[in-house]
Structure 1
Amino acid sequence: MENVVRLTRTLQAAAAATALLLAATACGSSGGGSSATGLNPPDLKAPTKLGTSEGQVNLIAWAGYVENGSNDPKVDWVTDFQKQTGCQVHSKVAASSDEMVKLMKTGEYDAVSASGDASLRLIASGDAAPVNTELVPNYKDVFSGLKNGSWNSVKGTMYGIPHGRGANLLMYNTQKVTPAPTSWSAVFDDAAAYKGHVTAYDSPIYIADAALYLKATRPELKIKDPYALDQKQFDAAVALLKKQNADVGEYWSDYLKEVSAFKSGDSVVGTTWQVIANLAASEGAKVKAFVPKEGSTGWSDTWMIYAKAKHPNCAYQWMNWIISPKVNAQVAEYFGEAPANSKACADTSDKNFCATYHAADEGYWKHIAFWNTPIEQCLDGRTDVKCVPYAKWVQAWTEIKG
């Protein structure tokens, strides 16, 4: 766990319009299927077989996903991959989803560990190619809840290989927040009770958290999907967050800062991740974290391959390697997330790890709305209105924070 504190997942959206082109590229009719409703990506084909390894692979990844022992000699799953495949790994750590999208467009990288707020952009623009899962043997053992998601597939076609998942939880100080909360109302409608000590995630995608709460508490808005908001629904979510802003003491993106804030008492209630809750508790903070009755948002990362990858064979070998049971277990424990491979749980050093992170509990994940990329074609299937695209979420987030 001590290694995990170096990792950050900022996901703060830059305003660069070049990274926000879904509204222009994802045009067409609203398609059906369980995935990416309304998205009609370019007609790209996945390979039918693999060829000879090219000798290298260039990756874009979150910190902690591609470790070769240079950060910690005990944390290394790259060296054995290179020995077994002959593919030398070159990796670039990205600090945000927007940076990942921008880097993929350079054509210099073969694959990326994209979160849901980047994946649809890559699919719609034609930068990410469909994946032939038959060429990734370990895919068969991936938890079913990570397959054919609205964030990683289109009309039944997978555009990547799932890596792991996590939920955005409500954490509170058990000594200062009483009675124990059961709802997100603790950070929204009832936030004034903890004025100046409420914390919230610093990203435009946090608007979805407000929308998820409104879905349960204001049924007249008819919100079906927190990432598919028409203008009225979006305005309601933004208004709620502007109201919340008066009670927020700190917006966090670096979870070291959140741990410190809960230890000091500067923060007593707010959104968090399981790894942060574990770390804060281990350092003496009196905290608990859980999924409130309305459910939660969450994230699921997917290894996606560049449509014009220079080293596709090594990229496919990497995707199979990173979700192999032993390696997937190592990554999950180091980063602090539920592994994707169902067999990984047998290889975790902490035998309670998968239970703590609800890795095999599909019932738990049914209450998690994984990050997705808002586009004009409403992801909930509506065709009579336009939904607010991600670029507008970025603009609104600046206004919300003042």
Structure 2
Amino acid sequence: MKLTRLAGAAVVLALCAVGCGTSSDDSGGSAGDSDTPGGFTAPDVPMASELGDNEGALSILAWPGYAEDGSTDKTVDWVTPFEEKTGCQVDVKTFGTSDEAVSLMQSGQYDVVSASGDASLRLIAGGDVAPVNTDLVPNYADVWPFLKDRPWNSVDDQMYGIPHGYGANLLMWRTDKVDPAPTSWSAVFDDSSAYAGKVTAYDSPIYIADAALYLMNTQPDLGIEDPYALDADQLAAAVELLKAQKANVGEYWSDYLKEVQAFTTGDSIVGTTWQVIANLAEADKVPVKAILPEEGSTGWSDTWMVGSETEHPNCAYAWLDHIISPEANDAVAEWFGEAPASSKACEIATKGFCESYHAGDEAYAEKIHYWTTPIEECLDGRTDVTCTTYQEWTQAWTEIKG
């Protein structure tokens, strides 16, 4: 779903290794937390209870920029130190979309994956990833508390991964072309005709949640409580809103450097964005501003998950602990452009970086509705209706774009 500087510029846990035990006591239940009690019963996949000697190899499936070994930029390397410390030789395969990541993980060929919230529940429900024993990940203690035990990374209070980094989908506009300055997502929905042909939107079925969030705030009679828990009528309302928006959309984007270019040329003057895009545009002297609108926003919180068929569980857990260490987590966050999940990463980050990304700001983070896979069991706790699935959202997105 997300493309990094690199991509834009160029482009059932088998713990059978010696000394590695398992436990399946906490592997099933309902997804969600006190705020979203709905969910599903997870497959009975065993969880590591102890670790042994590292196996010497690790296969990583990652977003571009999440597992850098110095080949892109010799100064950007947190894989080599991991290999030297653990003896686990790393093989990295990158993916471009969450759908691709889910498909690849289903092959059982990868030990760990960096999953966004629109993939994580699919991986859990499919038995493709295992519950994670956070007691075996010492650096987990330093993860911001508001990223733990959330609907997109846990089931029945059991974590299925280690939080990695997070960010919000913001509203950005050209300050010299949009007046007055918007404060609401209405600028790209109900008021988008004022910027006909110059509106931009994120190109993914998960963008339906942005419309649902807006409707949740502007049409309370629809009864939307969670933008990722939509029954058929609520989905239809979101689709109708997005079809109306399409008439004013000049471009749907997924490559963030292309969005920087579109705002630079004026082909886009208002739309959804990420903080890194706003930072890059401002650095290029493009007159833009980005805000978290009054309704809040959608966003991502990525999670490192362990494959259920991994043959290298010890190396997998070593990677989980390494990637959330202050040094590695800061390096990834600054290279990729997102808030780090480790609180200690901000102690060593470049001055002003964590402030720019609102890292550790719980009040800010709680305004973000993080990407979560839509499933039949309503994540808002309703049991009298069936909610729409990600597959239905994908079909709806094709209909919206025509």
Aligned to 1:368: 368
The number of equivalent residue pairs is 381
Matched, 1:357 2:349: no
Take 2:326 and 2:341, find their aligned partners in 1: how far apart are those partners? Answer: 9
Whether the aligned pair in 2 keeps the contact of 1:166 and 1:300 (CA below 8 Å) is: yes
**Aligned with 1:302: secondary structure?**
strand
Whether the aligned pair in 2 keeps the contact of 1:104 and 1:127 (CA below 8 Å) is: yes
Whether the aligned pair in 1 keeps the contact of 2:198 and 2:269 (CA below 8 Å) is: yes
Aligned to 2:181: 180
Whether the aligned pair in 2 keeps the contact of 1:374 and 1:388 (CA below 8 Å) is: yes
**Aligned with 1:90: secondary structure?**
strand
Amino acid at match of 1:289: A
Take 2:74 and 2:29, find their aligned partners in 1: how far apart are those partners? Answer: 51
Aligned to 2:385: 385
Aligned to 1:222: 223
Amino acid at match of 2:195: Y
Whether the aligned pair in 1 keeps the contact of 2:31 and 2:39 (CA below 8 Å) is: yes
After TM superposition, give the deviation of residue 105 of structure 1 in Å: 1.0
**Aligned with 1:289: secondary structure?**
strand
The aligned runs of 1:252-271 (5 Å cut-off) are 252-271=253-272
**Aligned with 2:92: secondary structure?**
strand
Whether the aligned pair in 1 keeps the contact of 2:32 and 2:157 (CA below 8 Å) is: no
Take 2:279 and 2:4, find their aligned partners in 1: how far apart are those partners? Answer: 11
Aligned to 2:94: 93
Take 2:70 and 2:148, find their aligned partners in 1: how far apart are those partners? Answer: 31
- Provide closer, same or farther for how the CA distance between residues 160 and 53 of structure 1 changes in structure 2, counting only shifts above 3 A: same
Aligned to 2:295: 294
Whether the aligned pair in 1 keeps the contact of 2:42 and 2:127 (CA below 8 Å) is: yes
Aligned to 2:316: 315
Matched, 1:69 2:93: no
Take 2:82 and 2:47, find their aligned partners in 1: how far apart are those partners? Answer: 23
- Provide closer, same or farther for how the CA distance between residues 279 and 32 of structure 1 changes in structure 2, counting only shifts above 3 A: closer
Matched, 1:131 2:155: no
Take 2:354 and 2:32, find their aligned partners in 1: how far apart are those partners? Answer: 34
The aligned runs of 1:119-268 (5 Å cut-off) are 119-268=120-269
Deviates most, 94-103 or 34-43: 34-43
Aligned to 1:21: none
- Provide closer, same or farther for how the CA distance between residues 99 and 240 of structure 1 changes in structure 2, counting only shifts above 3 A: same
- Provide closer, same or farther for how the CA distance between residues 337 and 7 of structure 1 changes in structure 2, counting only shifts above 3 A: farther
Take 2:250 and 2:383, find their aligned partners in 1: how far apart are those partners? Answer: 40
Could you tell me which runs of 5 or more consecutive residues in structure 2 were left unpaired when the two chains were aligned: 10-27
Whether the aligned pair in 2 keeps the contact of 1:37 and 1:154 (CA below 8 Å) is: no
Q: Percent sequence identity over matched residues?
A: 64
> Alpha carbon RMSD of aligned pairs, Å?
1.6
Whether the aligned pair in 2 keeps the contact of 1:375 and 1:390 (CA below 8 Å) is: yes
Aligned to 2:25: none
Could you tell me which runs of 5 or more consecutive residues in structure 1 were left unpaired when the two chains were aligned: 10-27
Q: Give the TM-score normalised by the residue count of structure 1.
A: 0.93
Q: Give the TM-score normalised by the residue count of structure 2.
A: 0.93
Whether the aligned pair in 1 keeps the contact of 2:32 and 2:379 (CA below 8 Å) is: no
